Amino acid sequence: MKKWEKVSGKNVILGVCSSIAVYKACQLASTLTKNGADVHVVMTESARKLISERIFQTLTRNPVCTDMWESIPDWKPEHISLAQRADIMVVAPATANAIGHFANGIADDFLSTVYLACAAPVLIAPAMNCNMYRHPAVARNIGVLSCDGVEFVGPDDGSLACGDSGKGRMAEVEEIMQAICNILE
């Protein structure tokens, strides 16, 4: 049995938020695609300031969704049709902002509207400063999402891009892939 066989033929929404860990999202998109998943990346506007959507388009061979108000080729609202096709939604890296939006039902960008429209399982890989991750508001939002059935992978302990050290590093791609496969069982 191939190691990541469970992702083959699956429709995966990959939400990408603004974090220095965005390079791991590239690795994740590539790994999912190489193992037969149909990956559709949804980037926040802030993520686009760190990395080009062209990279994800090339890695996944699919258009990247970034803007709620882009012209669409047919009558179907893209955030709904994308959510309806999903076997799983993975948000990696997930910022405190995105987690807060999801937990409170705030749908003011493409990613948060897809999240609310998605009936498939959701996996979140947080990535943020350790003080942000420990903040009671973030803990509360993670608790709300956990109660709603959202799964989490990470964050890991270690050296952070800001120079601090602690829990806040996005989980490694291998760990995220294993969590995806566990959910898809």
Catalytic residue among 17, 26, 147, 162: 162
d(CA 38, CA 62): 8
Question: In angstroms, what CA-CA distances link 113 with 20, 170, 182, 183?
Answer: 23, 23, 25, 22
162 annotated active-site? yes
Answer for the pair 180, 152: CB distance below 8 angstroms, yes or no: no
d(CA 68, CA 179): 29
d(CA 15, CA 98): 10
- Chain centroid to CA 114: how far? 11
Radius of gyration of the chain measured on its C-alpha atoms: 15
d(CA 37, CA 7): 5
Q: Which of 33, 23, 115 is nearest to 68 (CA)?
A: 115
Q: Which residues are catalytic?
A: 162
